[in-house]
Amino acid sequence: MFRKNSSLTGSLLKIAAPAIAVAAGIMSVPAAQAQTITGAGATFPAPIIQKWIGAYKASTGVEVNYQPIGSGGGINALISHTVDFAGSDIPMNANEKGQAGAPVVNIPDIIGAVVVCYNLSKIGPGIALTGPVIADIFQGKITYWDDPRITKLSPGVKFPHDNIIVVHRSDGSGTTAIFTDYLSKVSSSWKSEIGTGKSVSWPSGQLGGKGNAGVAGFVTTHDSTIGYVELAYAIQKNIPYAQVENKAGKLIYPTDEAASAAADGVKVPANLEFSITNSANAKAYPIAGVSNLIVYAKSPKNAEVKKFFKFILTEGQKPEYTEPLHYSPLPDGVAAKALEAVEKLR
C-alpha cells in the first residue's frame, strides 16, 4: 500500500532537487522574458491542471495555457505541433505514434475516478451497480430503470418505469477510454461488440456531450439520464453517482482514497503506459485511471516544459492541490519514474 500524500522517498527527493533549484532561479526572471507553454487535451484532469497553472505562474511568472478539448484533440494538436504538450487519459496508440513522426514520452501526472452519474427524481446518490449491468445499460440491453437487474442491487429504492437516457462523450475522450477499458474487462459482450478507445461506436439513439462538463451539464438538466464523468465534475455539479462493485465483489463509492487504492502494487513498465481499471485490491474503486502528459522527446520548448512538469510531479502532488479537487497523487515510485523520464527530455 503506498502512502497517500506521504513525503517523497529519498530517491524522489534526490531527483526533485534540481527542479527546486531551477524553480528558484526562474523566480528571478522577469515575467516578460518567460516563454509561454501551450498544452491541450483531456478534460478529466483539467480542474487540477488549471490549479497547477495558477500556482506555477505565481511562483515563476511563466504563462501556461491549457485548453481542455478532449484527449483526442490534444493528441492531434501535439502531432500537428500546435501545442507543446498534450493531456490524455490514455497513452498514444501505435497509429498516433506513427503520425507523430518522432519519439514521444508519456508522463503520468495524476489519478482520478470516473463515476457513473445519473439524474432520477427523488432518488439520491449511492445506488448500486455492477460492471456487467453498467455495460448492458450503455450497450442498450437494459432500457428501463426498474429492470430487475438494476432494482435487485439497491433494495428499498423505488425505481421508476422510465426509459434510461444514456449520455456519453461526443469527442475523442480519455475519460471514454478509461470507461470502455473497464467495461471491456467486465463484459465479454462489450469487449467483442463495442471495444475500448477514445471514441467507440455507441448504440443508436444515445446522446453525446462534449467534454466532461458537457456530459455533466446534460445529466444535471435532464431527468432519467445516466452518464460518466470524472469525480470532480459530479461533485461540482452536485450530480448523484453510483457505488460500483469491484473485482473483489465489494460495493465501493468513488473517492480519491479508493482511486489511490487502484494503483497499489501496479507494475509500471519502462514506457510509463499502464491501466489501473478493475483493480484486484479489495479497497479499490474499479473505474479509476491515470492521466498523462505527452510530449516530444526532443522539442525547442522542452527546457520550459521540463520545469513545469517537475513542478507538477513534486509540488503539484501535495494534498493542498489534490484533495480539494478529489484527485489522488501518484504513488511515490511512479512519480520518481516520471521525474526520471522528464529529466531525459531535450
User: Which among 344, 343, 337, 342 has a CA at the least distance from the CA of 8?
Assistant: 337
Tell me whether strands 207-209 and 165-169 are parallel, antiparallel or unpaired: parallel
Average pLDDT over residues 249-263: 96
- pLDDT band, very low/low/confident/very high, at 204 (cuts 50, 70, 90): confident
- Amino acid, res. 277: T
Is the pLDDT reported for residue 65 higher than 50? yes
User: Which among 338, 322, 254, 344 has a CA at the least distance from the CA of 55?
Assistant: 322
116 φ/ψ angles, rounded to the nearest 5 degrees = -95, 105
- pLDDT band, very low/low/confident/very high, at 160 (cuts 50, 70, 90): very high
Average pLDDT over residues 223-252: 96
Is the pLDDT reported for residue 35 higher than 90? no
CB atoms within 10 A of CB 132: 18
> Is the Cβ–Cβ distance between 168 and 208 less than 8 Å?
yes
Q: Where are any strands of DSSP class E within 134-230? A: 165-169, 207-209, 225-230
pLDDT at 34: 52
As a whole number of angstroms, the distance between CA 97 and CA 73 comes to: 15
As a whole number of angstroms, the distance between CA 346 and CA 343 comes to: 8
Average pLDDT over residues 195-218: 95
pLDDT > 70 fraction of the chain, expressed in percent and rounded: 90
Query: Between 316 and 18, whose confidence is greater?
Result: 316
Average pLDDT over residues 126-137: 97
pLDDT at 59: 96
As a whole number of angstroms, the distance between CA 1 and CA 213 comes to: 33
Alpha helices in 61-130 (DSSP H): 71-79, 94-100
Is the pLDDT reported for residue 315 higher than 70? yes
SS3 of residue 231 by DSSP: helix
As a whole number of angstroms, the distance between CA 168 and CA 173 comes to: 10
Is the pLDDT reported for residue 329 higher than 50? yes
pLDDT at 264: 87
Average pLDDT over residues 141-150: 98
pLDDT at 45: 96
pLDDT at 29: 38
DSSP 52: H
- pLDDT band, very low/low/confident/very high, at 339 (cuts 50, 70, 90): very high
- C-alpha cell recorded at residue 29: 526572471
Mean pLDDT of the chain: 91
